[in-house]
Each structure stands twice: as structure tokens, then as C-alpha cells.
Amino acid sequence: MNDKSPFGLEEWLTFLQHKKLPVSSGNFSRLKKQLKSPDETLDKLQNNISSEPFLAFTILSEANKVVSNKRADIKTPNHAASMVGMNGLSKVLNKLEPCEFSKKNAAHQNFLRQVQISYEAASIAKRWAIEKRSNTSEDIFWITFFRDAARWMMWFYAESQMNLMISLIKEGKSPKIAEESAIGCRLDELAVKIFQAWQIPSIIIHSFLTDHIPNPKELQKLADLAKDPDSIPGFTEDKRLTILANSPLLLAFCATKIAHGANNTNWASKNLSLYYQVIACVLHCKQGKVIQATHYATVEAAQLYSHSDKIPIACQLLSPNLYTTKQIRKNSPSIDKLQQASNVISQLYKNFKGDKKLLIKETLKTIKIVIPNAQHALVLVAKHPSKKISPVLQFGYDLETLKQINWNTPSVVFSHLIQKQSVSNLPSHKLKNTINKFPLPAQQILDERGHLLIGSCPQKLGSAFIIWLDTREKFEDADFTTFKSIILTLSKALAKT
């Protein structure tokens, strides 16, 4: 019944902090050769370092471990490389994992896509800094870029969970609910912990903390100063807000939010206006100028940093449907509950390579999200050739009670489910007539006044998974249709083994 897949802040921290960072095997080999060559200098290595995200990130981390003046973080890869020198660069290679990025590998492609989004965010922040006439625009670019390093790792090592998160966001869930449902914690919270463990520059860590950036209420107060798009915002009398509005970290924070928001839900996302208003207050200009600078920056990013197959968000600006009215949008078919489930499940199972325990765990997570009426869920496995049945995963039940049940007492229902793929809908009147066909001890956790959905996924060698959902209230017809879709998709995935 133990679930070894990470879930929650501490488990993900333990999982990630000792993982090697993926880099292109071509760049890795090239760098090794360059470091061995007596004719190479740091100046010649700069392009290779800057173009490889995790190589630059690791060098930055290493430089800040050895720098004596902690008040002056090293923020750019080239500065970091000059601090660690050629010998330091050789040591950094041990922390990297050369990888042949494949177009057929979804985790690889999503990783590269996320790096591309980070370039877009960094370009936006840099353009805003230039508009503000800041002399630290290059620093702001790299601070913004490296903020996403933990997100890159999650896409490389936990692609199915991240896909689930994005699917939930596209369905209208808030980032908080989507992240906590998919991975059990907030991504920013995980980033702070993992960055502290890796000893990366404190200024990047500060860009997540409300000691250094506005909290939601303060963001709204800044945005309220720029509510009128045709007027230049006024000034706040709040000293803390004045300090925060003049911090370069606010540019990094807002640019990240806009880049991810535009990529996940397109430029028409209502959440973007808040950040435009905040930056209008920071730059002390009309919102139109902020939007123009933002769009210009995405075009720059498309020209300078297109290293993957991801379509730049600058291209979305040309969409003929981008600013259509809500009335027109209503005519397009909406995504119903079944489609939501199918989208989530297809993302989870498309790269299944044989880890049944992980697959079943992700199935249970999906069920909790797309069938919220389920108060309890139980996954049983019947092993071949003994046909012995035992619980492997559950939610909502008392664990000790489940352990005390003898699941192998004779049962007409279980015998049928093990032999043939089946999905049954048992509302209270049917459950009342069927409950005596379940194993006698198992009847103690079922309520004949409740509602049960039960399905099975038999496998080639005679084993089978049985999944049941139980509620003391009522499942809707859409819940059963969604459950049936989940069982069918799960059976297809298991058939690969």
C-alpha cells in the first residue's frame, strides 16, 4: 500500500536535489574537448556556456559557492565562468548528465519547450528594464531566466505530473489548485527549497519571497494605481510599495507570470492585465506602452532564442481569433467533463513504459480531480496464477480496516471482473441487490444506500486491476461516462506490457 512516487514538498525535494542536470550531449562533448585544449580561453567558451541552460546554471551555482562577497551575487553565466576559471569548469561537468534530446521523447520536448518559455520571460523582463532605463538589464535577464530552473527539472523528470498540472490550468483551475493537485505543493515553494539546497544566488531566491516582491494584496494595490489604461499611473504613498515597485525582482516576477500565462492559456488570458497594470505603475507609463514592449520582447525572443520546436508566443499575436468577443466564443463547443478527463488521461498514458504502480497512482490522482463526487476509491490487484486479491492504493478509507479484510473470500462480482473487462454503475437500488455478491468482509465498507462505480482491467497473463469508487451521495451520469473512459484508457495502456 506504500506509494513511492514523490508527492508533496519534502518528497520532491529529496527526489530532485541529487539528480544530475541534463545538457545536450553535443555541447557537453564540445566543452570537454575545449577544456582539455591548451589554446582555449574563457572568452572562446562563452557562447557554449550561455547557450546551454543547465551548464550556465551550474556554473552560476558553483561561482556563488566560492565568492567571498555574499552581498554581490554573481548573476550572469559569463561572469560566473570567469570566477571559477578553467579548473572550476572541469569540476562542474561531474554535476551534468549528457543527453541526446529526442523529438520522439515527450519529456525531452517539454523540457526544451519550458526553456524556450523562460527565454521569452527573460526577454520581456529585459525589455521592461531597458524601458525603465535600468543599467542592470542583463542581470535582470538572467535572474528571470534561472527562476524557472526547478520547473525545467520537473518537466524532465516528472513530465506526467506537469502535464496534468497544465491540463488543469487550461480547464480553468487556478495555478494553486492545479499545482497542489498534480504534485502536492506549489512550484515556487519547491523552487525556493531546491535553490537553497543548490546554493544558487540569493537574489534569484529572493524573487520568490514576499519579503522582496509584493504579496497578492500589494500587487492589487499597485495595479489599482494603473486601472485607467489611458492615464499615467499615480504614485503610492506606501513606503514598502515604493521600494517593491523599484526592485528589479518585480520585473522578473511579472515577466515570468506573463510568459507562462500567455503560453498556457494564450494572450487573451484575463490574468495578464493585472501584471500589465503593475508594470505600468513600475515604469510610470500607460498600459499600452507596457503591452507594446512586452509584445516586442517576444518577437526578440523568437529571433534570438528559438532552440526548440515550440511555436513562439509572438506568433499567437497574429491569431485571427485572439480578441473575438465572448458572444462569438460561446458558439464554439466547450470542453465537457469527459473531454477534460480524456485530455488529462491521454497526457498521462501516452509515454507509459511499464511502471504499472506509477500508472495506477496517476489514475487515482486523475479520478480525484475529474470525478470529485468520489468520496472513496480503492484499487485492488488480482495476481496470476494464485488469483489472490489485495489492495494496492486507496483514498478515503481507513487503512487499518482495509488491511483486516480478507479479500479472497468467494465473490461472484470479483470472479467476473478478473476474467473480463467490465464497468458497472451501481446506484443505491442496484447496490442493495448486489452487495451480497461481494466478499463478505468487504461488505462492511460499503453502504447499500450509497452509489458504487466499479471497473476492471484484466491483463494478458491472467492478472487484473479492479478499481471502485464509492460515495454516500450520488454519482452523475457524466461521472460514470468519465469513469468508463478512464478504465478503457487504462486498459489500453496496460496492454502495452
Q: What number is the average pLDDT over the span 364-371?
A: 82
d(CA 48, CA 368): 45
In order of their start, the domains of the chain are 359-494 (3.30.450.40)
Cα(first)–Cα(last) distance of the chain, in Å? 22
Helices 137-146 and 248-265, interaxial angle, to 10°? 50
With cut-offs at 50, 70 and 90, classify the pLDDT of residue 420: confident
* pLDDT score at 332: 37
Residue 380, pLDDT > 50, answer yes
- For residues 89 and 223, the model is more confident at 223
Residue 341, pLDDT > 60, answer no
pTM above 0.75, yes or no: no
Q: Which of 86-100, 139-153, 158-172 has the lowest mean pLDDT?
A: 86-100
215-253 burial code (b ≥16 CB/10 A, e <16): eeebbebbbebbeeeeeebeebeeeebeebbebbbbbbb
What value does the mean pLDDT of the chain take?
Answer: 83
Dump pLDDT digits (tens) for 291-301.
999 999 999 99
* pLDDT score at 43: 65
Dump pLDDT digits (tens) for 23-82.
888 888 888 887 777 666 666 666 667 677 888 888 888 887 776 555 556 777 878 777
- For residues 323 and 125, the model is more confident at 125
With beta carbons less than 8 A apart as the criterion, state whether 439 and 405 touch.
yes
- For residues 60 and 261, the model is more confident at 261
386-423 burial code (b ≥16 CB/10 A, e <16): eeebebbbbeebeeeebeebebeeebebbeebbeeebb
* pLDDT score at 16: 92
Dump pLDDT digits (tens) for 154-206.
999 998 889 889 888 888 888 888 898 889 999 999 999 999 988 888 899 99
Q: What number is the average pLDDT over the span 327-345?
A: 47
- The CA–CA distances, whole Å, from 456 to 131, 388, 423, 475 equal 60, 15, 7, 18
